[in-house]
Structure 1
């Protein structure tokens, strides 16, 4: 049997449609119910009801339209970790505009390149956040956005669900930012995650540990619970990982979402947490190490359900409370998804065989394409399939095992080695806080597997080598180790192994 898994066809997106209206519609039925709680470790909290949320979004939409913007105009968002970030994102969509959220950490040259590419009609910005060199483009300060919350509400601009709704930037492993264009229908596709990953109901309280201005937080932490009529909780800016268990308990959180590194940091501060309302955790952004998963379960009595996705299609493979992933797997294609594992010829490979993960071009969550890059968009498709660039294998029952980016896979004496397998072993070392493996060139025509690790102090290479070789076949074990202050990561928190490789080779040269 070949590696194709079809989970059926989701219901079609309604038409006419507006993404922001869909996000806010469920909460409109219970306007006084908490939609968002911003909670601080000192007991401070700000609470906004679903009615407050819709009022603020539609007020800001009115303010945007008063700037003379036309449907389809791009709004470049240079906002920090504040409530204005999600409110402005939804407000622009409500008004028929196209928000382009960007990381506040981008430098002026980086955001200038983005502005030159997407040609915004307006920039909204927080004080202290770098602005692009974009002559003639007006800039609205975050303080003015806050004043627009109480303006008379704008009407939702309805239209074809296939039309452009928003643009997000993904760094990819190449480090070259790509402008990913999504249709309004993308939010409709996220309904497949409610049962396929979250186990989300309208009664849930979901706390996401990330900042407002992270796309993982925006989708999983805010838009999805709001679309369900549930309550979202976001930690106050500056909240430490050590403070999160107390927040989870105080806010009666039922679902906790975070990146693997946050779980790891929490566990450094204790091995027992009393969280009586917590049903389970969610993890995405990078592979969750098995030791972290096991330690969290021992500390809380709850499971972590992992999801695999990408900016071009959000998450579409996951474990879920009703369908847990088997050991070592990322999960199953969510209900309504159709995926395949493809060989170099673009055809599905047999079960258990590594190949490139493809998602059907009929998936309603799939991007429209890359902005002004038709050739690059076409290159990502092979017949029916959008090529993710990730190497996986599929079990006979559809379980997906993530093996790494296709360009991250390492070669050792003719054997293909997944960096995740090496990292899983070294992350279990008691003194290693985080690590990444990459194939690096040490001299002309000679490459070896290298391990780059973060630790509080230098670890003797002999000790690391012995630790790895006692747990890995020799050909899989790193031949060199380098301690680094931090691992390079993209905006979606994925490790940039290519950056590690390039930096090493630039520093050490190749004879």
Structure 2
């Protein structure tokens, strides 16, 4: 069984059940399944086959669902990518991921027009129409683009497909998705998630959260991110629930959406909950919610308690990582939750805390959190050494320091790596440092995370230069090469950076200088 075949089963047993709602339009499971069949067979007709890699560069929309599940039914491997990535970030993933076809929005055609010359292995660009894109196209002769011969419309592929397509036989160990995660080396690593990984984690998460076919789940987290992909998309569709797609988060949009559709489940990162708490929304607007889910970053205890008190709804905080599909823990719904904890282990997954000798430590002691289960990735794409380092004796080493109490509740103490979490997005210092090091006047740079009242953390840089450079120039330089959430919030210039006796830059000393 896999996510695509499970959806097909739901379409047979409950065909008229609403599968998703998007901007006032809705589709039943029967209609969604037919669209998935048409798209999968249309891809096959144009030469895409089982095992080929397809990038999905679209926002939250039905295009994402049909693209993901259609590719899965064909047996192709999907590479979801953030649509706001810069050309450098996009081209690296498309090349490293051996992407044969790209599904993207018409608004991004100018970007791919600039990029496609550097992507010789990418044969096809499947263009999804948007209202804004169609309006701009009136003054934009796409037929004159050098990219045009490689372009096909999403609609035409659907039209050439068959509603009765069954697809090839898929194996549990076949790679369904490659999720690129920021790496400590400065280059993203592709975590290979199999059909079994996705299916088991979605099912086990849904069971833990007691999702059922009467639930209506708000999907406003980015669908390309593994948190939304599993918890707000695959898990509800696994159980015949309805997904309410919200393209962009805003407190007003959430209040209106939850009230209009009587949503029962909302998933978000702490930043979203903070915005909802600080807004002037009516408490009655969220009264239909039975459960809120938080992940992506640690939620401050005060925020959790104040939100629950104001809106009278439970927040279950959990933990996960891309390499684990992602969920390993959630605060349980049937026994006391512990604010500040990431909860207890979900079914079919094992978590434990170990020391440097891989020995499990006693409750209350700090060690590295390691994970084992059917949700753990197959490995990093084309990175056998990194895979061997991350997965040892079938245990995934998360890189996070944690403790476990006597009742099996886990607590994240600190990040073993120097990762910065900006509004739920992971930012690795080395990735930002590499960009700044490429500036001709930058001699040394160190990046740390600092507290931010809205985003949880912000990126701060300490820079040493050989010539005077304005802060605004370096920020603009970063903005051209990094996604918006990775761009530093501030840059501080120093004569030299603190180092140890071997010459290693001491980020901890810089944090102490800032009092964080």
- TM-score between the two structures when normalised by the length of structure 2: 0.75
Partner of 2:346: 334
Secondary structure at the aligned position of 1:306 is classed as strand
Residue from 116, 120, 126 that aligns with 1:135:
120
**Which whole-Å CA distance do the structure 2 matches of 1:455 and 1:227 have between them?**
33
Residue from 33, 38, 44 that aligns with 1:59:
38
Alignment deviations for residues 109-153 of structure 1 (CA, whole Å, 9 cap, x no partner): 222212221212222221232334212522222242134345313
1:350-365 alignment runs, 5 A limit:
350-360=362-372, 363-365=373-375
Describe the shift of the 1:225–1:187 C-alpha distance in structure 2 as closer, same or farther (beyond 3 A).
same
Describe the shift of the 1:349–1:121 C-alpha distance in structure 2 as closer, same or farther (beyond 3 A).
same
Alignment deviations for residues 1-27 of structure 1 (CA, whole Å, 9 cap, x no partner): xxxxxxxxxxxxxxxx44311244224
Describe the shift of the 1:327–1:213 C-alpha distance in structure 2 as closer, same or farther (beyond 3 A).
closer
* Contact in 1 for aligned 2:317/2:341 (Cα 8 Å): no
**Which whole-Å CA distance do the structure 1 matches of 2:2 and 2:250 have between them?**
36
Residue from 265, 289, 294 that aligns with 2:300:
289
Describe the shift of the 1:266–1:278 C-alpha distance in structure 2 as closer, same or farther (beyond 3 A).
same
**Which whole-Å CA distance do the structure 2 matches of 1:105 and 1:347 have between them?**
42
TM-fit CA distance, 1:172 = 4.7
**Which whole-Å CA distance do the structure 2 matches of 1:61 and 1:402 have between them?**
41
Secondary structure at the aligned position of 2:55 is classed as strand
Residue from 21, 29, 33 that aligns with 1:37:
21
**Which whole-Å CA distance do the structure 2 matches of 1:367 and 1:238 have between them?**
29
Alignment deviations for residues 299-330 of structure 1 (CA, whole Å, 9 cap, x no partner): 21111001100000011111131244323211
Partner of 1:257: 267
Residue from 6, 19, 26 that aligns with 2:3:
19
TM-fit CA distance, 1:508 = 6.4
2:298 pairs with 1:299: no
2:230 pairs with 1:210: no
2:157 pairs with 1:148: yes
Alignment deviations for residues 324-366 of structure 1 (CA, whole Å, 9 cap, x no partner): 4323211001122112101111111111111110012xx1111
Describe the shift of the 1:18–1:336 C-alpha distance in structure 2 as closer, same or farther (beyond 3 A).
closer
1:159-308 alignment runs, 5 A limit:
159-172=170-183, 175-190=186-201, 191-196=203-208, 198-235=209-246, 237-238=247-248, 240-270=250-280, 272-274=282-284, 275-308=286-319
Partner of 1:316: 328
* Contact in 1 for aligned 2:7/2:33 (Cα 8 Å): no
Describe the shift of the 1:404–1:174 C-alpha distance in structure 2 as closer, same or farther (beyond 3 A).
farther
Alignment deviations for residues 255-277 of structure 1 (CA, whole Å, 9 cap, x no partner): 11111111111112137511332
Secondary structure at the aligned position of 1:242 is classed as helix
* Contact in 2 for aligned 1:182/1:367 (Cα 8 Å): yes
TM-fit CA distance, 1:240 = 2.6
Partner of 1:94: 73
Describe the shift of the 1:509–1:128 C-alpha distance in structure 2 as closer, same or farther (beyond 3 A).
farther
Q: Which stretch shows the higher mean deviation, 262-271 or 146-155?
A: 146-155
Which structure carries more helix by proportion? 2
Count of aligned pairs: 428
Q: Which has the higher contact order (CA 8 A, sep 6+)?
A: 1
TM-fit CA distance, 1:207 = 1.1
What is the RMSD of the two structures over their aligned residues, measured on CA atoms? 3.7
Q: Which stretch shows the higher mean deviation, 348-357 or 157-166?
A: 157-166
2:360 pairs with 1:374: no
Partner of 1:3: none
Runs of at least 5 residues in structure 2 that lack an aligned partner in the other structure: 130-152, 430-445, 456-474, 499-516
Describe the shift of the 1:392–1:65 C-alpha distance in structure 2 as closer, same or farther (beyond 3 A).
same
Runs of at least 5 residues in structure 1 that lack an aligned partner in the other structure: 1-16, 40-44, 410-418, 428-433, 439-446, 457-484
TM-fit CA distance, 1:62 = 1.1
- TM-score between the two structures when normalised by the length of structure 1: 0.75
TM-fit CA distance, 1:224 = 1.1
1:356-505 alignment runs, 5 A limit:
356-360=368-372, 363-408=373-418, 451-453=450-452
